[in-house]
């Protein structure tokens, strides 16, 4: 008795639908994560060159980084700037809603800090 091996047409269709849904989700979510990493890099760069600068000057420097990197998600006023262990720490937090299908959307909370130890005081 020979057993048949392989994939049935119905199984192929199910797997095709699953793979396409995952691909669509990835295509819609990936730009948001890329934007988050650009913001995080800009915040770390501003914090690295923060010696002797005031809070308004740091916000202005971030504004220049945001303009060059085309960051529209947050602005200089959205940054939390404080001192921790005699170092300037810049942190940020924002929500991004990604529409998926009809009235279904994905809400992502982004948080970051230049200290690398999490968000905020």
Domain ranges of the chain: 9-113
Q: Report DSSP state, residue 80.
A: E
pLDDT tens digits, 1-55: 677 777 788 989 999 999 999 999 999 999 999 999 999 999 999 999 888 889 9
Considering the entire predicted model, what is its pTM? 0.81
The pLDDT score that the predictor gives to residue 121 is 46
pLDDT tens digits, 17-30: 999 999 999 999 99
Mean pLDDT taken over the chain = 90
pLDDT tens digits, 93-107: 999 999 988 899 999
Cα dist from 75 to 5, 12, 36, 58, 80, whole Å:
58, 47, 13, 12, 11
Torsion of CA 52, 71, 115, 113, to 10 degrees: 120
């Amino acid at each position: 008795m020979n057993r048949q091996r392989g994939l049935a047409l119905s199984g192929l269709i199910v797997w095709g639908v699953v793979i396409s849904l995952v691909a669509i989700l990835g295509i819609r979510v990936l730009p948001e994560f890329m934007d988050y990493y650009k913001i995080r890099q800009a915040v770390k760069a501003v914090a690295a060159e923060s010696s002797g600068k005031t809070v308004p000057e740091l916000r202005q420097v971030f504004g220049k980084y945001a303009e060059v990197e085309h960051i529209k998600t947050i602005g200089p006023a959205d940054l939390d700037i404080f001192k921790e262990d005699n170092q300037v720490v810049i942190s940020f937090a924002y929500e991004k809603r990604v529409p998926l299908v009809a009235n279904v959307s994905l809400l992502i909370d982004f948080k970051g800090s230049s200290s690398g130890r999490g968000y905020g005081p």
